[in-house]
Amino acid sequence: MFKFMDLAIQEAINAFNKNNVPVGAVIVKNNNIISSAHNQDFWHAEILCIQKAQLILGKFLNDCSLFVTLEPCPMCLYACSLAHINSIVCGASRTDYRKDEKTKKIELIKNIKQEQCSALLKNYFNLKRL
């Protein structure tokens, strides 16, 4: 589990280095990395990662897990539901929303490497405030 989150963190660092909000995502199936992505301009890492995985596996990503450095926003959570992603492993957590009827089937595992993921976000936004 940690090696996949490490790759998501590396993707987040790539976003940070490109002056984008540092969020990275990785999709895994059967312990194999299917796709990875990071935030790019206004594109969320989760959406980009899902699109890449769908090019490889097809429309539905059954038996796949998404590793992401920040708990997905409602839009990305719903996209995961539509893509049939089974579980989401998050680094930093959000408290501004809850899962609903459409997304309740997705297993959500929080706070994996949370300090490292949160630090990237805090550093990014602190630099933006200078």
Q: Looking at the annotation, which residues are catalytic? A: 46
Q: Which of 120, 126, 130 is nearest to 15 (CA)?
A: 120
Contact 27, 53 (CB under 8 A): yes
Tracing tokens 């990014």 back to the chain, one arrives at 124
d(CA 128, CA 106): 34
- 8-state DSSP, 104: T
